[in-house]
Structure 1
């Protein structure tokens, strides 16, 4: 057996022992990810969740006036699949590192274009690589949040709030999406190509939910009923649109048709919703 072979064997055994000797252990600040749809857009966040463990947090283990990675371990990443707006500033589609500069009275939040840093980047962090910063005010919450939490709330077709919550502090980042422009393009595209009853219904339902262009929504619903026949949900939305237009008698008639079909199909929830609206609109009709 050659000396070279012996040396190679010994080295291989050594490196294998190192590999097998490593222990995979749970992280003190476990990683997580969240994804939220806002209209047609998606926002994704990857971050880690440190625990308070009885420590003072802001002004303590997270010092005031110094960069914070908004979590632990790797830098927190936020991904947006379309252009968005945050307090009047454009956030283009892409991936960004999210940093914070907490102070007692206000925080700066940085959307940073360099996503290669570990954690907050320390001395390698360069403010010139911020896409932009916003200023938000922290607020106290009436409960204790043990693990740092990022969560979306107050979600509409066009807006959401991203909340940063830890210990007794919450910071809110408002986000806007131009869903209306996207939807108008989508409606025009689908109605041009090969529209079905469902196409007209979904277009009308979007307009009704957004509280706009009710005359156009009513025309779409009439087309949906013409192409697809009578359904409880077509008539349900039609009744809501007619009520918005002040046509309470028409709304009552549509709601009664929706109620009858829903009752036959065992759709109890729609029966109750229609009954409630019929009663309300009968009162409004009498008052007018």
Structure 2
């Protein structure tokens, strides 16, 4: 009870001193953080709701700058260099603006972080880092509250997705994970690598469909050092299949299946069975 009373005392004092009544915001703030490869992306924005209003071409007029949300300007932060919509973008924090139109939108990456909202008369296009054009999609699902999210995630890329009402915008982002991962692999394998180190390097190459011959060497080294393991043999089977050696791929998959069955790893049993049936028709 004392805690509740204390809260209301502080609340009342704040109200009296500031002269403003604290209240929930109609467009509450939100933060979305997404890791893509080794790169962290953060967007801080506010989320207005439609509340029965027409949105693009109505509440958000065509041809006029939009803050990509409500209240303060929308901030976009990356901790490493990326490509956004094909444009090089250095690590740092930027403001996102947009100029919506019915057929095409201009997306703006802006350097001046000091403007509130869209900046209006203070906005200066000379401070744009770059602009790019995207085509809005009309989707059947209705999004009541404006949302920024990330989708189609891989080690090397993602789409930043804006959705409101029946409109969807997708902005591609690319990161240099492969280059970074090659450095990590070289560093880890140049010291005293473990069987797991070799396995993880082999699995990464297989997942990315690069340097498959090297991946096969690494997974064999993992098996030599670490012994028979169902997931080592599983990755070896996938590498062999990618290299077109389906007979040996089936052999490795059978070994993985047997080891997985002993340990009760039903998912790996099913995956290996499916691949064996598929690969048996290819030699």
Structures share a fold, TM > 0.5? Answer: yes
Q: Secondary structure at the match of 2:190?
A: helix
Structure 2 counterpart of 1:107: 105
Alignment RMSD: 1.5
Residue among 63, 66, 69 paired with 2:64 = 66
Point out the more displaced range, 190-199 or 97-106. Answer: 190-199
- Return the alpha-carbon distance in structure 1 between the equivalents of residues 112 and 38 of structure 2: 27
- Return the alpha-carbon distance in structure 1 between the equivalents of residues 15 and 280 of structure 2: 82
- Residues 62-141 of structure 1 correspond to what in structure 2 (within 5 A)? 62-141=60-139
Post-superposition Cα deviations, 1:163-189, rounded to whole Å, max 9, x if no partner, equal 111111111111111211111111111
Instruction: State the 1:20 CA deviation.
Output: 8.1
- Residues 177-256 of structure 1 correspond to what in structure 2 (within 5 A)? 177-256=175-254
- Return the alpha-carbon distance in structure 1 between the equivalents of residues 189 and 39 of structure 2: 21
- Residues 25-64 of structure 1 correspond to what in structure 2 (within 5 A)? 25-64=23-62
Computing the radius of gyration from Cα coordinates, the structure with the larger value is 1
- Return the alpha-carbon distance in structure 2 between the equivalents of residues 87 and 263 of structure 1: 46
Q: Secondary structure at the match of 1:194?
A: coil
Which runs of 5 or more residues in structure 1 are unaligned?
A: 1-14
Instruction: State the 1:204 CA deviation.
Output: 0.7
Provide runs of 4+ in structure 1 moved above 2 Å.
19-24
Post-superposition Cα deviations, 1:96-119, rounded to whole Å, max 9, x if no partner, equal 110111111111111111112111
- In the superposition, the TM-score normalised over structure 2's length comes to 0.92
Residue among 167, 170, 183 paired with 2:168 = 170
- Return the alpha-carbon distance in structure 2 between the equivalents of residues 107 and 193 of structure 1: 51
Mark the CA change 1:111 to 1:199 in structure 2 (over 3 Å): closer, same or farther.
Answer: same
- In the superposition, the TM-score normalised over structure 1's length comes to 0.90
Q: Contact 2:64 / 2:99 at 8 angstroms: preserved in 1? A: yes
Q: Contact 2:15 / 2:22 at 8 angstroms: preserved in 1? A: no
Q: How many residues align?
A: 271
- Return the alpha-carbon distance in structure 2 between the equivalents of residues 177 and 33 of structure 1: 21
